[in-house]
Amino acid sequence: MIVILILLIQIKLIFTKDPAYIRDYFHLISTTEKPLPLRKYYGMHHSSIDFYPGTMNVILSVPHDGDLRSNLPSRPKGACRKLNSSNRKCYYQNPCLSPQFQMDIKHCKISRGRDVNTRLLALALRYEFKALFHFTPYVIINRLERIKVDMNRFIDQGTFYRKDNMHAWMRYHFYLRHARELIVKNKNNYGGKGLLLDLHSHDHHERWVELGYLLPSRQLSRKGYNLKHSSFASYLTSLFEPIDLVSGNKSLGYFITKYNYSATPSPIFPSPPEQSYYEWGYIIEEYGRYGNFSAIMIESPARNMMNLTKLYKYAKSLAFALHEYLIAIEVFEVLATSENLEQSQITKQCNLSRQISAQRNLFLLLFFSVMSFI
Ligand SMILES: [Zn+2]
């Protein structure tokens, strides 16, 4: 009996283990290129950001898959709320600055969980894009744990106004903005077209790929799309009908469905389930609808990425879908070939420390002014 049990366990292990060629693939995509050497902060042995320069007008952002330890203070499980008050506003203080306020985990919960394998997904997409387009997207990965800093929230919620956490938050956004400027102002990119894809994972039971365009789910279920406040650049809405862009045959959901994954909004699932759909993210709000630059949040089901075999199939399909999508909506532009991409082009305009310290002082000033009114 015991022998049979051991045999069954071994058979299960054989079938659940990722094949060697898939392990080799992820080893290759993680090691074949090195990110730019950036300064290290916060007691870490590695820079808090992996920045891979691109040769096409797409940015992949990965804010929630960090695991590197640092000496930054942690964000609490909840923000503060005024006691016995109907005011539902959350105050991002740690600890709460007045006895009238108390941490409220129920109404002011702070998300601190890590996304599943979105870092590897971004690197796989970069690799696959190179095969499909012959050009690579910018990839910007946050390596800090989300319990320390959340790059996809406003700075108050993302950092609780701790000095070094604010510095880390601003560094990430500095590099996203910097990549966007390099794309928009590139002399080969007529019209400054571009797209940022913000990569996340979720564990909603429908297991659909959820695509966020800053469109509320109620608007999606009515199908009366108003793209004025969406994360699409306005020129796209002049080229295509809103219904085609959001849930028709020019939508990303259409192309993802074509490669055998369910997505929403899409022709098959135009309306997401109202209770479990991520329509908003700070990053798409901040970086989309900027001139001719758009942004989309891609929330992939964690189940698609739980092991390397599933991730491999999903990444390949998503790369094919994105390849067809970028061509169908006429966004793809070449910025530079790998040979003429100069390191100086990436680093010249950074002048990082001066800008960060100026922004930090401004935020601190604002913070103390607001606190003095409470
Ligand atoms: Zn996320």
CA of 250 to the centre of ligand 1 (A): 25
pLDDT tens digits for range 217-242: 888 988 888 999 999 999 998 999 99
CATH code assigned to 33-70+115-373 = 3.40.630
- Give residue-wise pLDDT tens across range 256-289: 999 999 999 999 999 998 678 888 999 999 999 9
Structure tokens at 195: 């797209």
Amino acid symbol at 348: K
Q: How many residues does the chain have?
A: 374
The answer on pLDDT for 253 being more than 70 is: yes
The residue type of 119 is R
User: What pLDDT, on a 0 to 100 scale, did the predictor assign at position 372?
Assistant: 39
CA of 110 to the centre of ligand 1 (A): 13
Ligand 1 centre to CA of 64 (Å) is 5
pLDDT value of position 88: 86
Between the CA of 3 and the centroid of ligand 1 the distance, in Å, is 44
Beta-carbon contacts of residue 82 (< 8 Å; ≥ 6 apart): 89, 91, 100, 101
**Contact criterion met (CB below 8 Å) for 146 and 68:** no
Q: Ligand 1 centre and the CA of 84: distance in Å?
A: 33
- Ligand 1 centroid, distance to 115 Cα (angstroms): 5
Report how far ligand 1's centroid is from the alpha carbon of 343 (Å). 30
CA of 189 to the centre of ligand 1 (A): 30
Domain-wise residue ranges, the chain: 33-70+115-373, 76-109
> Ligand 1 mean position to 200 CA, how many Å?
4
Helix axes 118-133 and 308-328, enclosed angle (nearest 10): 50
pLDDT tens figures, 97-139: 999 999 999 999 999 999 999 999 999 999 999 999 999 999 9
Element (H, E) at 300: strand 293-301
- The alpha-carbon radius of gyration of the chain (Å, integer) is 22
Distance 304 CA to ligand 1 centre (A): 15
Ligand 1 centroid–CA 271 distance in Å is 21
Q: How far, in Å, from the CA of 201 to the mean position of ligand 1?
A: 6
CA-to-CA dists, residue 78 to 93, 156, 254, 313, angstroms: 9, 13, 38, 37
